[in-house]
Amino acid sequence: MGALRLEPMTHEQFRSYREETVRSYAADLEGTGLTPQDALAQAEESTATLLPDGLATPGHHLWTGWDGDLEAGVLWMRIRSEADGPHAFIFDFFIHETVRRKGYGRELMRAAEARCRELGVVSIGLHVFAHNPGAHALYEQMGFRDTSYNMAKSLRP
């Protein structure tokens, strides 16, 4: 495995990615206690709101991570200008299941950081679900620190 390179997502890749990210986000939302129907509706609404113009949505960057000819994963990031400089937020980051546990997650994060530095970004934020300790551990190893906690209590029997 070499260093991953980031390439802009193609329209063809985006069509299948959008479907997959809605399904994946819905599954994560179910882990917070939402019903499957509510989770899917919320995931669809959130994705449509955040990416109203798909790949052309201003400030949003969707990249595919490549190791040679191998598509390893995907990164979706928004960059916004603030008073102290541009700040990035990672909305989605995943490594394809067939190549997980081989270091590609770390390499994709390194590639994202390098791209952010090229763009003058001063900080990168992201959200990780509490039911995903593996992702949390990776982000901590990469230098991310917890900045807040969301908590919930289900009242369903």
Residue 122's identity, in one-letter code, is V
> Which CATH architecture does the domain made up of 5-142 adopt?
3-Layer(aba) Sandwich (3.40)
What pLDDT does 50 receive?
96
| Segment 42-58 mean pLDDT | 96
What pLDDT does 94 receive?
87
Residues 6+ apart with CB under 8 A from 42: 26, 29, 34
- Kindly report, residue by residue over 137-154, the tens digit of the pLDDT: 666 777 768 766 666 666
| Distance separating alpha carbons of residues 67 and 103, to the nearest angstrom | 11
What pLDDT does 40 receive?
96
Average pLDDT, the chain: 87
Higher pLDDT, 106 or 139: 106
- Kindly report, residue by residue over 28-37, the tens digit of the pLDDT: 888 888 899 9
